[in-house]
Amino acid sequence: MKNHWVLSARGFGGVIFCGLVSLGLAAQAWAQSATFTAQAYPLVGNTHIAADFNGDGKPDLAGSGLQAASVMLNNGNGTFGPKTDYPVGDYTQDVAAGDFNGDGKMDLVITIQSPQQSLAFLPGTGTGNFRAPTFFPNASGFDSPQVLASDINNDAKLDVVIMHGIDCFTAPCRPSRIVTVMLGNGDGTFQPARDIDVNTFPHSMALGDFNRDGIKDLAVGGENTELSILLGTGNGNFVLQSVMLLVPGGDLFSACNDVDVADFNRDGIQDIIVPLGNGEGNAIVLGNADGSFRAGVRNQEDAVSAPNSIAVGDYNRDGFLDVARGMGDGTRGLMQIMHGNGDGTFRPLVRYLVPAALSSQGGGWIIAADFNGDSKPDISLQVRGNNVATDVLLNTSGAAVPPTAPTVSALALNPTSVTGGSSATGTVTLSAATQSATTVQLASNSASASVAASVTVAAGATKASFSITTKQVTSTTSAQITATANGTSRVATLTINSTSTAADIVSITRAEYERAKASLRVEATSSRSTATMQVFVTSTGQLIGTLTNNGGGKFSGQFAWSVNPQNITIRSSFGGQKSSSVTAK
């Protein structure tokens, strides 16, 4: 997991960029695309993080250099000073930050590709400098390509989780199936490593709280698009909950290149997104809050190029989380952004391209943090190829302009006249569909007609129906039904007829069912020319439909009906009714 805007591992995810002056595309109203300006710096590491190492309130950069921890301090405005290397002797793999010795100053831990040592601890001075490293042994026998820093056992002391990949220190190479947990003592030292079987060959991992018990859980992305979910016990251990197969039939190259945790559908429950190798695109799994997840949904747009890593943030400032992808193939854009809809789905991706001369370059690790203090997520991207660099992309996106709220454009009642004690249906229509549900307030000005307090128009829809119930009345009366949303209202009138008034006389002149067309033809008359005539199945009371008023007291209708109802009843809004058998043809 890339810890959004903060300390260790990957702040906001992983993407790549190259030496551009300006990046961006035309905005499309509410769904505007994020824009950036970029500045290239020396490569700070194959992986890197953002944290405040000198206490000025601005995130600095630290990375896993060749044989050192590399640091670049923020000048306070989103630009960075020269790179400083702190040697650790062996090749480094990943880096995390936190206060491991309890002195209130930011420290570094960095994993090492060595059979003897897996971790180096570099105490921070609080000025942006670091003291000599302390090393911890590699008891696993594997390399250590990822490290996460967090309080795993809830003792207010930072611990580390180290992912182990492969052992090629001796031939033949062998893959790992473990991560190790090293519980912190709070003084910069750690307890002996404890192996956790993750039931897959791990490629990436992230921490979260998937069952909302306040204890850290672990998601591990492996080969064959396998995603292992391990629930924390609170004592530094993790128990395997499930192994999800994100893409059936995946292979060794369809690995989970990265894992990130965030609430993409805004239900307060953590979800997981995974970029996949071998052209499989991305997979998102929505959480159920109990440690389980719904089936993965893939986005294969531009899947020909595999994202190396991802970073999550609201880059276009519309209130929905987006996903920035660092691409391995520079010809399709070193970075791509999928702007979120706020419901776990995404709009078509936006490509951020590089100059033609650099088109063969690819993006590497990507993180997000607010580097210049403007409350927008910026991006830092590792660029590979002939011109390796760390590109810092400052977010220049303006505030997203929300769409005009939909108004109530119509309110219709069916029927418009009823006998007291019967019901009618109201239908409210909005001027436009919205991305989220819209609540329409309802009201009646008469005690003889009742409606619910509100009706909801679903996201993406423009209409919703509601029921109107009436009471028996001694004389004909009327009720005004009002629908209100976003400061606009529509009113419709319902006539409620007295049940003591003599009912109209209803006759059925035709009731025929045509089997070949599964069609019911009905013709009828009423002594009241303004009546509303509805057809029901006599045996069940099921409504078939409303007849068309042809004038002069004559009514007709033709209805699609799957089976012959055998007998129908026509009911008039003036109280009259008539039943008849149906002739089959």
Which tens digits make up the pLDDT trace of 27-36?
Answer: 333 457 899 9
Same domain flag for 75 and 171: yes
- Note whether 368 and 434 are same-domain residues: no
> Residue 11, SS3?
coil
Contact 271, 244 (CB under 8 A): no
The answer on pLDDT for 14 being more than 50 is no
CB contact set of 249 (below 8 Å; sequence gap of 6+): none
437 and 306 both lie in a single domain: no
Percent of the chain with pLDDT over 90: 67
**Predicted local distance difference test score (pLDDT) of residue 331:** 61
Task: Give the model's pLDDT for residue 18.
Answer: 31
Residue 178 covered by a domain: yes
Residue 567 has pLDDT above 60, yes or no: yes
Please tell me the predicted confidence (pLDDT) of residue 3: 41
Q: Which residues pair with 280 in a beta bridge?
A: none
Confidence check: pLDDT of 55 > 80: yes
Q: Kindly state the tokens that stand for 254.
A: 């369809």
User: Is residue 9 domain-resident?
Assistant: no
Residues 370 and 426 in one domain: no
pLDDT at 106 exceeding the cut of 50: yes
Which DSSP string corresponds to 203-221? EEEEEE-TTSSSS-EEEEE
Same domain as 368, residue 324: yes
pLDDT band at residue 307 using 50, 70 and 90 as cut-offs: confident
Which range has the top average pLDDT, 21-25, 35-39, 434-438? 35-39
* pLDDT: which is higher, 481 or 33: 481
Q: How confident is the model at residue 12 (pLDDT cuts 50, 70, 90)?
A: very low
Asked if residue 221 is part of any domain, the answer here is yes
User: Which amino acid, residue 579?
Assistant: S
Same domain (yes/no): 184, 275:
yes
The residue out of 395, 429, 453 marking a domain boundary is 395
Please state the pTM of the whole predicted model.
0.68
182 and 289 inside one domain: yes
How high is the mean pLDDT of the chain? 87
Whether the predicted pLDDT of 6 surpasses 50: no
Contact 338, 346 (CB under 8 A): yes
Does the pLDDT value for residue 545 go beyond 50? Answer: yes
Q: In terms of Cα–Cα distance, which of 274, 256, 158 is closest to 200?
A: 256
- Residue 67 forms part of a structural domain: yes
CATH number for the domain that contains residue 78: 2.130.10.10
Distance CA 484, CA 444 (A): 12
Does 349 have pLDDT greater than 70?
A: yes
- Beta-carbon contacts of 489 under 8 Å, excluding residues fewer than 6 positions away, are 408, 482, 483
- Poorest-pLDDT segment among 36-50, 98-112, 332-346: 332-346
Structure tokens at 581: 């058998």
| 256 or 208, higher pLDDT | 208
* Angle at CA of residue 273, ends 269 and 276, nearest 5°: 160
Residues 170 and 92 in one domain: yes
Residue 403's pLDDT band (cuts 50, 70, 90): low
Please check whether residue 19 lies inside any domain of the structure: no
Task: Take residue 282 and report the two structure tokens written for it.
Answer: 């991305």
| Span 219-241, average pLDDT | 95
Within this chain, do residues 261 and 348 fall inside the same structural domain, yes or no?
Answer: yes
Q: What domain range includes position 514? A: 506-584
What is the number of structural domains in the chain? 3
Start-to-end CA distance of the chain, whole Å, equals 68
Distance CA 366, CA 16 (A): 6
